[in-house]
Amino acid sequence: MAFVVTELCKDCVDTACVSVCPVDCFYQPKEPGEKYPNMLYISPEECIDCAVCEPECPWEAIYPEEDVPEVFASDIPLNEACDTDRDGFELAEVIEHEPPSAEEVAEKKAKYGL
């Protein structure tokens, strides 16, 4: 099992989760676009299932693979792409961000029926 970043991270790219990862398993696309949206990705090959990233994500976008909501099922293979297409990704760097408000998080989750 690995953790999965879901589309709740799309265009937010808050790196609070990256800053606590002990193995640097977070990646981002070199050229975000339709194929690889602008979001963070967790390498399932490198993730050690420590779970420290999940509570750090201010967008509540990270789930254990077996708990990924059905609406985000396609994000599991999308995260795997950072292993299968490593040339399309780079290691994510920590960038300071203003955390979202509870209302912003709720609004984004509501867009996906959560």
Q: Supply the DSSP string of 70-92, one letter for each residue.
A: GGGTTHHHHHHHHHHTGGGEEE-
pLDDT of residue 96: 87
3-111 maps to CATH 3.30.70.20: yes
Which pTM value belongs to this model? 0.94
Query: Mean pLDDT over residues 10-35, rounded?
Result: 95
Is residue 112 scored above 90 in pLDDT? yes
Q: What's the pLDDT tens digit per position in 1-21?
A: 799 999 999 998 899 999 999
What are the sequence ranges of the domains in the chain? 3-111
